Amino acid sequence: MRIFSFTMVLLLIISLCSCSSPVTETAGDQKVTLALNWLPEAEHGGFYAALLNGDYKKEGLEVEILPGGPDSPVIQRVATGRVDFGISNADRILLGRAQQAPVVGVFAPLQHSPRCIVVHKSSGIESFDQLKNVTLAMSDAPAFSHYLREKLPLEGVKIVRSTGSLSQFLQDPAFAQQGYVFSEPIVAQKQGIETNSLLLSELGFDPYSSVLIVSEKTLSEQPELVEKFVRASMAGWKTYLENSDTVHEYIQTINPEMPRDVLDGGMEALRKLCRNADGEFTGEMDPERWKTLSSQMEELKLIETGLYKKAYVNLSGPSE
């Protein structure tokens, strides 16, 4: 659901378009814009932490964070140079490049996808092979929905278009909903509904999420800027994972319809997704993970072979 109303979206876009660092600015700092993929919430916490803690300023950057919303064209805005950096997911990066949008992932705070299918606990559904005889609200946009349809028989499942609202889910125990583990399950619990979350990563579809992206042009012509921004963002995320209080207080001032307990619960859900196999937070991307994702999307005939090789770069760590 990622809580929103269209009125709220419009008001927030107006109010947040000038959401720059609360830290005192210094003449000579390089102005930089970061476009979010949604309204400010837990998945953006590390970037706001870097803003609030002065990590960007320490690198000589004056950062303005721009809000997203439904169908935010982040890939296009970054590719065309309307913004310097953006937030997207690995599968969307590949889809963008397939449509001639030369964007590159440079930092992945979420090592695992938070996307899930939310079901009522009372349904008894605990795994994807038990996902039967329900109405499933799901987007038809690539790539996760295509993968789900391809991999599961979906016996007795009626698929309807997701509206982003949880209202029908809350009323119908035989209703399932696409979502994110840091949002919909927590909101449902607030309404007294116990849920199970079926993570898409458990089905084998696990694109890096909340990936920091930049255009090939910026990466080529301003590599020091990209390194500074990644370094500061990394510091912000490490701080956020340790203590999110200040960030959540700030997010509520700019997104007042986001409940504090949803932010706090979302943070706990995200914490598990930010660690690599060794339990460390690095933000690095594994070439094999990109190769696997690319192969999955090639099988679905969404992209051409080998497109992933220029879709990401590790500023530290292995790249292919």
Looking at residue 319, what is its pLDDT? 54
Structural domains of the chain, count: 2
- How many angstroms separate the CA atoms of 242 and 301, rounded? 41
From start to end of 20-108, where are the E strands?
30-35, 61-66, 85-88, 103-107
pLDDT for the residue numbered 283 = 96
Does the pLDDT of residue 12 top 60, yes or no?
A: no
- What whole-number distance in Å separates Cα of residue 249 and Cα of residue 254? 9
Residue 18, both tokens: 């000038």
Residue 67 has pLDDT above 90, yes or no: yes
Q: Is residue 319 part of a domain?
A: no
Q: How confident is the model at residue 18 (pLDDT cuts 50, 70, 90)?
A: very low
Note whether residue 315 is domain-resident: no
Single residue among 172, 203, 234 that ends a domain in this structure: 203
Task: Give the pLDDT band of residue 130 (cuts 50, 70, 90).
Answer: very high
Looking up residue 279, the CATH number of its domain turns out to be: 3.40.190.10
Confidence of residue 122 (pLDDT cuts 50, 70, 90): very high
Using alpha carbons only, how large is the chain's radius of gyration in Å? 19
Is pLDDT above 60 for 88?
yes
Q: Per DSSP, which regions of 109-243 are E strands?
A: 115-120, 135-137, 158-160, 175-180, 195-199, 211-215
Domain match, 97 and 215 both: yes
pLDDT tens-digit profile of 137-182?
Answer: 999 989 999 999 999 999 999 999 998 899 999 999 999 999 999 9
**Total residues belonging to the chain:** 320
Give the pLDDT score at 28.
Answer: 78
For 11, list phi and psi in degrees, rounded to 5: -65, -40
In a domain, 318, yes or no: no
Cis bond upstream, residue 143 (ω within 30): yes
Strands 211-215 and 103-107: antiparallel
Q: Which residue has the higher pLDDT, 15 or 90?
A: 90
Q: Yes or no: say if 94 and 293 are a contact pair by the CB < 8 Å rule.
A: yes
Residues 18 and 138 in one domain: no
Q: Is residue 251 part of a domain?
A: yes
> Do 150 and 172 reside in the same domain of the chain?
yes
Confidence bin at 4 (pLDDT 50/70/90): very low
Evaluate whether residue 184 is within a structural domain: yes
Specify the higher pLDDT residue, 207 or 7. 207
- The pLDDT of residue 45 is 98
Same domain, 120 and 106: no
Q: What region does 232 belong to: left with phi over 0, alpha with psi -120 to 50, or beta? A: alpha
Using DSSP, state whether 237 is helix, strand or coil: helix
Given 203, 221, 256, the domain boundary residue is 203
Residue 28: which domain range?
6-112+207-310
Closest CA to 307 of 101, 86, 41, 34: 101
pTM of the model: 0.90
196 pLDDT above the threshold of 50: yes
CA distance 111 to 218: 24
Same domain, 126 and 187: yes
Residues 129 and 216 in one domain: no
Identify whether residues 258 and 242 lie together within a single domain: yes
Question: Whole-number mean pLDDT of the chain?
Answer: 92
Q: What is the pLDDT of residue 141?
A: 87
Give me the pLDDT at residue 27, please: 56
Gap between the Cα atoms of 166 and 161, Å rounded: 13
Phi, psi of 101, deg, nearest 5: -105, 105
Same domain for 105 and 211?
yes
Segment 254-278 shows an average pLDDT of 94
98 shares a domain with 223? yes
Please say if the pLDDT value at position 13 is more than 60. Answer: no
Asked if pLDDT for residue 10 goes beyond 50, the answer is no
Average pLDDT over residues 241-264: 97
pLDDT at position 98, please?
97
**21 shares a domain with 107:** yes
pLDDT of residue 25: 46
Q: Give 206-224 pLDDT, tens digit per residue.
A: 999 999 999 999 999 999 9
User: Could you tell me the pLDDT band of residue 22, with boundaries at 50, 70 and 90?
Assistant: very low
- Alpha carbon distance 125, 279 (integer Å): 29
Cα(309)–Cα(295) distance, integer angstroms: 12
What's the pLDDT score for residue 164?
84
* Overall average pLDDT of the 30-56 stretch: 98
Instruction: Give the model's pLDDT for residue 277.
Output: 84
Q: How far is CA 44 from CA 50, 110, 181, 240, in A?
A: 10, 10, 14, 10
